[in-house]
Chains A and B, each alone.
Chain A
Amino acid sequence: MKLKSSLLSPSRLAGRLRLLLAVAAAGLVGGLFQSLHAEDAALSAGADISRYYTVTPILPPPGVDSQVGGMAFLPDGRLAVCFHQGEVGFYNPAKGEWKMFAQGLHEPLGLLPLSNTELLIMQRPELTKVSDTDGDGVADRYETVWDGFGMTGNYHEFAYGPVRDAHGDYFVSLNVASNGASVREEIRGEWSPIGLDRSEFYGTDWKAVKEKAGRMYSRVPWRGWILKIDGKTGEATPWAAGFRSPNGMGFDAEGRLYACDNQGDWLGTSKFFHIEKGGFHGHPASLVWRDGWTRNPLEVDVAELDTLRTRAAVLVPQGVLGNSPTQPVLVEPGGKFGAFENQMLVGEMNYPRVLRMMLEDVAGVMQGACIPLFDGGGLNMGNNRLAFGPDGALWVGQTHLSWAGGQGIQKIMPTGETPPDVKSVKLTEDGFALTFTKPFDTALLKDPANFNVSRYYFEYHEDYGSDEMDKKAAPVKSVEVREDGTGVRLVLGEPLKAGYVYQFRLDALRDAEGNAILNPLFCYTAKRLTDGTDPEPGTQIPRK
Chain B
Amino acid sequence: MMLRPCQSSALIGSILPACLALMLLSAPAAPTVQAKDVKVSLEMLSPFRFDPPRFAVEPGDTVRMTLQNLDITDQPHNFVLTVPGNHQGLVNAALALAEKGPELDYVPPGDQVLAHAPLLKPGNKATLKFKAPEEPGIYPYVCTFPGHGMLMFGALYVGTEMPKLEDDPNISKMFLSAPPVEVTRPAFQRMFLPDAGPAAIAVALEGDQNYCWDAGACRLRYLWQGDFIDAKDYYASNGNALAEILGDVYWENPEGYPLTFGGMAPESVKFLGYDIVAGVPEFRYEIDGVLVREHITALTGSGKPGIQRRFQIENAPGPVHLPLDMIRPSDEIGVKMPGGAVKNGELILEPRLAQDFTLDIYRRK
Task: Provide the residues of chain B in CB contact with A403, threshold 8 Å.
Answer: 47, 73, 75, 147, 238
Q: Decide if A6 is an interface residue (CB 8 Å cutoff).
A: yes
Contacts A3-B18, A152-B198: A21 and B188 contacting too (C-beta < 8 A)? no
Q: Decide if A153 is an interface residue (CB 8 Å cutoff).
A: yes
Q: Decide if A463 is an interface residue (CB 8 Å cutoff).
A: yes
Task: Provide the residues of chain B in CB contact with A156, threshold 8 Å.
Answer: 238-239
Main secondary structure on chain A at its contact with chain B?
loop
Name the distance in Å between A35's Cβ and chain B's nearest Cβ.
10
**When the two chains form their complex, are residues A155 and B146 in contact, meaning their CB atoms are under 8 A apart?**
no
Contacts A319-B146, A351-B147: A7 and B21 contacting too (C-beta < 8 A)? yes
Within 8 A of B (CB), among A339-366: 349-351
Which of A6, A36, A152 is B116 in contact with, Cβ under 8 Å?
A6
| Chain B positions 44 through 82: 1 when the CB is less than 8 Å from some CB of chain A, otherwise 0 | 001110000000000000000000000111111000000
Stretch at the interface among B92-100, B162-170, B336-344: B92-100
**When the two chains form their complex, are residues B275 and A319 in contact, meaning their CB atoms are under 8 A apart?**
no
**When the two chains form their complex, are residues B238 and A401 in contact, meaning their CB atoms are under 8 A apart?**
yes
Stretch at the interface among A54-62, A98-106, A421-429, A488-496: A98-106
Q: Decide if A378 is an interface residue (CB 8 Å cutoff).
A: no
Q: Decide if A165 is an interface residue (CB 8 Å cutoff).
A: no
Q: Decide if A94 is an interface residue (CB 8 Å cutoff).
A: no
* A140–B277 CA distance with the chains assembled, in angstroms: 8
* A144–B46 CA distance with the chains assembled, in angstroms: 33
Task: Provide the residues of chain B in CB contact with A320, threshold 8 Å.
Answer: 98-99, 101-102
Which of A20, A188, A521 is B216 in contact with, Cβ under 8 Å?
A188
**When the two chains form their complex, are residues B102 and A141 in contact, meaning their CB atoms are under 8 A apart?**
no
Which of B5, B89, B151 is A24 in contact with, Cβ under 8 Å?
B89
Which of A129, A142, A153, A178 is B73 in contact with, Cβ under 8 Å?
A178
Q: Decide if A309 is an interface residue (CB 8 Å cutoff).
A: no
Task: Provide the residues of chain B in CB contact with A32, threshold 8 Å.
Answer: 174
Within 8 A of B (CB), among A477-530: 503, 505, 521
**When the two chains form their complex, are residues B5 and A7 in contact, meaning their CB atoms are under 8 A apart?**
yes
* A33–B172 CA distance with the chains assembled, in angstroms: 12
**When the two chains form their complex, are residues B174 and A464 in contact, meaning their CB atoms are under 8 A apart?**
no
Within 8 A of A (CB), among B225-252: 231, 235-241
Task: Provide the residues of chain B in CB contact with A381, threshold 8 Å.
Answer: 147
- Tally chain B residues at the interface, Cβ within 8 Å: 80
**When the two chains form their complex, are residues B236 and A104 in contact, meaning their CB atoms are under 8 A apart?**
no
Within 8 A of A (CB), among B79-122: 88-89, 91-93, 95-99, 101-111, 116, 118, 121-122
Name the distance in Å between A217's Cβ and chain B's nearest Cβ.
13
Nearest opposing residue in chain A for B237, CB measure: A402
Contacts A464-B74, A468-B103: A125 and B109 contacting too (C-beta < 8 A)? no
**When the two chains form their complex, are residues A181 and B72 in contact, meaning their CB atoms are under 8 A apart?**
yes
Contacts A24-B92, A32-B174: A10 and B3 contacting too (C-beta < 8 A)? yes
Task: Provide the residues of chain B in CB contact with A264, threshold 8 Å.
Answer: 74
**When the two chains form their complex, are residues B147 and A405 in contact, meaning their CB atoms are under 8 A apart?**
yes
* A134–B275 CA distance with the chains assembled, in angstroms: 11
| Chain A positions 383 through 405: 1 when the CB is less than 8 Å from some CB of chain B, otherwise 0 | 00000000000000000011111
Within 8 A of A (CB), among B140-161: 145-148, 150-151
Contacts A10-B3, A106-B191, A404-B148: A319 and B101 contacting too (C-beta < 8 A)? yes
Q: Decide if B317 is an interface residue (CB 8 Å cutoff).
A: no
**When the two chains form their complex, are residues A27 and B88 in contact, meaning their CB atoms are under 8 A apart?**
yes
Which of A6, A103, A265, A468 is B187 in contact with, Cβ under 8 Å?
A103
**When the two chains form their complex, are residues A464 and B122 in contact, meaning their CB atoms are under 8 A apart?**
yes
**When the two chains form their complex, are residues B19 and A141 in contact, meaning their CB atoms are under 8 A apart?**
no
Nearest opposing residue in chain B for A28, CB measure: B88
Q: Decide if A300 is an interface residue (CB 8 Å cutoff).
A: no
Stretch at the interface among B129-137, B266-274, B291-299: B266-274
**When the two chains form their complex, are residues A188 and B197 in contact, meaning their CB atoms are under 8 A apart?**
yes
* A151–B88 CA distance with the chains assembled, in angstroms: 41
| Chain B positions 165 through 198: 1 when the CB is less than 8 Å from some CB of chain A, otherwise 0 | 0000000001100000100000111111000111
Task: Provide the residues of chain B in CB contact with A155, threshold 8 Å.
Answer: 237-241
Name the distance in Å between A246's Cβ and chain B's nearest Cβ.
15
Q: Decide if B276 is an interface residue (CB 8 Å cutoff).
A: yes
**When the two chains form their complex, are residues A65 and B235 in contact, meaning their CB atoms are under 8 A apart?**
yes
Task: Provide the residues of chain A in CB contact with B14, threshold 8 Å.
Answer: 1
Name the distance in Å between B196's Cβ and chain A's nearest Cβ.
7
Task: Provide the residues of chain A in CB contact with B23, threshold 8 Å.
Answer: 7
Contacts A155-B238, A155-B240: A17 and B275 contacting too (C-beta < 8 A)? no
Nearest opposing residue in chain A for B192, CB measure: A153
**When the two chains form their complex, are residues A85 and B47 in contact, meaning their CB atoms are under 8 A apart?**
no
Task: Provide the residues of chain B in CB contact with A33, threshold 8 Å.
Answer: 150
Task: Provide the residues of chain B in CB contact with A105, threshold 8 Å.
Answer: 190
Contacts A13-B109, A178-B74: A323 and B187 contacting too (C-beta < 8 A)? no
* A125–B274 CA distance with the chains assembled, in angstroms: 14
* A349–B201 CA distance with the chains assembled, in angstroms: 30
Q: Decide if B215 is an interface residue (CB 8 Å cutoff).
A: yes
Name the distance in Å between B14's Cβ and chain A's nearest Cβ.
8
Task: Provide the residues of chain B in CB contact with A196, threshold 8 Å.
Answer: none
Task: Provide the residues of chain A in CB contact with B118, threshold 8 Å.
Answer: 4, 6
Q: Decide if A435 is an interface residue (CB 8 Å cutoff).
A: no
Task: Provide the residues of chain A in CB contact with B76, threshold 8 Å.
Answer: 464-465
**When the two chains form their complex, are residues A323 and B89 in contact, meaning their CB atoms are under 8 A apart?**
no
Q: Decide if B15 is an interface residue (CB 8 Å cutoff).
A: yes
**When the two chains form their complex, are residues B48 and A404 in contact, meaning their CB atoms are under 8 A apart?**
yes
Within 8 A of B (CB), among A8-35: 8, 10, 13, 17, 20-21, 23-28, 32-34
28 interchain pairs (CB within 8 A)?
A: A4-B118, A5-B19, A7-B5, A10-B110, A23-B96, A28-B88, A34-B150, A36-B92, A65-B235, A85-B235, A103-B187, A106-B191, A124-B198, A126-B199, A129-B273, A142-B276, A151-B197, A152-B198, A158-B239, A178-B72, A180-B72, A215-B74, A350-B147, A351-B146, A404-B146, A405-B147, A521-B98, A521-B99
What is B's interface to A at a CB cutoff of 8 Å? 3, 5, 14-15, 17-19, 21, 23, 46-48, 71-76, 88-89, 91-93, 95-99, 101-111, 116, 118, 121-122, 145-148, 150-151, 174-175, 181, 187-192, 196-199, 201, 215-216, 231, 235-241, 271-276, 281
